[in-house]
Amino acid sequence: MIMYFTIRSSPAGVLRTASSGTSKPAPGSGHTLGRKDVRPLCRSVRGPCQGREHGESFTWECRGRASDQRVRPRRSVRGGRPWRARLLLISVCGMRQRAGVGAGASRIAAVVAGVAVVASMLPAPPSAAAAASAAAGAGAGAVGFSWDRYPQEPLRHPPRPPGRDLRWGDCAGVGDPALRCAEVTVPLDHRRPHGRTITIAISRLPATDPARRRGVLLTTGGGPGGPGVPLPSTLAPLLSPEVRARYDLIGFDMRFVERSTPIGCGQDVEEAGGYWVRTATPASLPADAAEARAYARDCMRAAGWALPHATTANAARDMDVIRAALGEEKISYLGGSYAGMLGAVYAVLFPGRVDRFVLDSPVDPNTAWRPYELARTPAFEAGTAAFAAWTAERDATFGLGGTAQEVTGAVSGLIRRAATAPIVVAGHAWTPDELGTLLVAGIYDERTFGLVAAAFADIAAGREPFVPFPVRPLPPAGVPGVPADNHTATNIAYRCGDGPWPRGLGDYRRDLASYSVRYPLFGPANANITPCAFWPRIEDEPVRLPARRAPGVLVTAALRDVAVPMANSRAVAAGIPGSRLVTIDAHTHAPYPAFGDACLNGQADAFLTTGTLPPAGVAC
């Protein structure tokens, strides 16, 4: 699995590093999208818009028109916010990637794809004028939008017939010479298959036994916002020889992610974990709303041409174009976390194209995204308690406290100290957000408890810690043209696009009052307002379960999953009739295949190789 971290920690905006910077879109043909090119997306598949499955791709037929709305521009609040209490909850959806660590410094069996960050910073209230301005701008909550107000990006590639001329070559930024890459051309708007196009980057690792080859096994990153092109190389050594013999592993970056016509929101650096979130109190909510509105406005300005088309449903339609481009009648699929949700949506839209799908700890599309964020708050609290209790039992080793409360206090104390001034250790200035990424690794997976506890102990003692993962996401090496904030931009674009989100401050104020009391560590972040409250209304109706015409799939999950709690996996398995759920009693996320449990891996391998689902109720 892949882990993305970043720092957002300055009253004057965001920290800038030597490796950061805003990437400008590459010059194109000079032609831009106007109002006639970008039409309002469909309101309903049952109303004036109807979707149809046509062998190779999915097209929309729409009648009628949607009303245009406009957004009132607001001044940016970046630079106007002093430090305040902040808890950053980082994206936890993603594929797993094994990372080896020397025995002397502990060993990580898998690196987390998303993390939760607790960064407590003492608040300084905004000035009366600033507070009044923020309240005036955010009071109504709802916002309208007109796409032609914002600049449009010219095409980066000349139009080509979708998926007809794959040209395989080296994969930029990937160190595996066996992995080959190509681009598939897809419509920007799938309702207009002959209109403007974008490109989707795909990769291929051939089946090891052509004589037994069954077909393709697609995969992509989680997040949303995680890349999928490198994943075949990561998965290959983790999958059984029987699975590798039968499938070409096909990775792809979803639309607007990294190699696939990437977008950004004009920021110099990623948010921590590539995930926009702020902690609030009822008193700070108007200022939080102003900051969220400003970010939404920046995204509209930087990527307004793309935002109406950044939805999970459109990513699933892209998958079907990839299928056709590869010449396959059906596809098999392995998707973890958010990528599991993408697989479920594909099963709804293209049930006749589903072969053997393994959905690993999938997000329930019926709760994406506001209900999902609220519902997983108790799991994050429980994960923190488990990490603190484990560390307290080993106080002689780590020295962070002999009780769970003392451990939590020691970690929170370091974060508060870094909020006053970064903690400089071995030439690196640790910020609150960076320390928060370490805390999350401690609640995310039981196998990282020791590494994270040791890192906090080292920082507290002024020693250089061993942290074998990046603390902030960066554009992929060797892949030019990826904006510095691509992961954050795509994550927020998909989450907002899949909606719906509350538009009024009253909804967030009510949730904050409840969740902050019940879940004091993570409630103030999960219940807070986001840029999605000010996002343009996306008319591409979210795709929901059930998928009654799809064949049964295999859902795998960990019982003590903090990132995507078990209720999600149960709902997805129930929403695709004939499916089976296999569980493992572990504190981890997306366990197949990286967790290495012989029982769970054996069930998944058997399904992929024979097509036979396990009996109901298998618990490993």
pLDDT confidence band for 122 (50 / 70 / 90): very low
Please indicate whether residue 553 or residue 283 has the higher confidence score (pLDDT).
Answer: 553
pLDDT at 433: 76
Looking at the domain assignment, is residue 395 inside a domain? no
pLDDT confidence band for 476 (50 / 70 / 90): confident
pLDDT confidence band for 20 (50 / 70 / 90): very low
pLDDT tens for 171-202 read: 998 989 999 999 999 999 999 999 999 999 99
pTM of this prediction?
Answer: 0.76
At 13, give phi and psi (nearest 5°): 135, -120
pLDDT tens for 336-380 read: 999 999 999 999 999 999 999 999 999 999 999 999 999 999 999
Q: Provide the mean pLDDT of the chain.
A: 79
pLDDT at 616: 96
Looking at the domain assignment, is residue 77 inside a domain? no
pLDDT tens for 568-616 read: 999 999 999 999 999 999 999 999 999 999 999 999 999 999 999 999 9
- Report how far residue 116's alpha carbon sits from residue 561's, in angstroms, rounded to the nearest whole number: 13
pLDDT tens for 53-86 read: 333 333 333 333 333 333 333 333 333 333 333 3
pLDDT at 60: 32
Cβ atoms of residues 189 and 196 within 8 Å: yes
Strands 247-252 and 197-205: antiparallel
pLDDT at 107: 33
- Report how far residue 239's alpha carbon sits from residue 242's, in angstroms, rounded to the nearest whole number: 8
Handedness of CA 377, 379, 382, 386 (dihedral sign): negative
**Residue of 520, 483, 513 lying closest to 384 (CA atoms):** 520
Q: Where are any strands of DSSP class E within 30-85?
A: 49-54, 57-62
Looking at the domain assignment, is residue 319 inside a domain? yes
- Over residues 256-267, mean pLDDT: 98
Number of domains in the chain: 1
Residue 320: give its domain's CATH number: 3.40.50.1820
Residue type, 602: G
Looking at the domain assignment, is residue 276 inside a domain? no
pLDDT confidence band for 273 (50 / 70 / 90): confident
Looking at the domain assignment, is residue 13 inside a domain? no
- Report how far residue 221's alpha carbon sits from residue 233's, in angstroms, rounded to the nearest whole number: 13
Strands 247-252 and 215-219: parallel
- Report how far residue 251's alpha carbon sits from residue 446's, in angstroms, rounded to the nearest whole number: 28
Q: Which domain holds residue 601?
A: 169-267+305-366+540-610
Looking at the domain assignment, is residue 174 inside a domain? yes
Torsion of Cα atoms, 576 then 582 then 584 then 588, to 10° = -30
- Does 118 score more than 70 pLDDT? no
Looking at the domain assignment, is residue 486 inside a domain? no
Residue type, 617: G
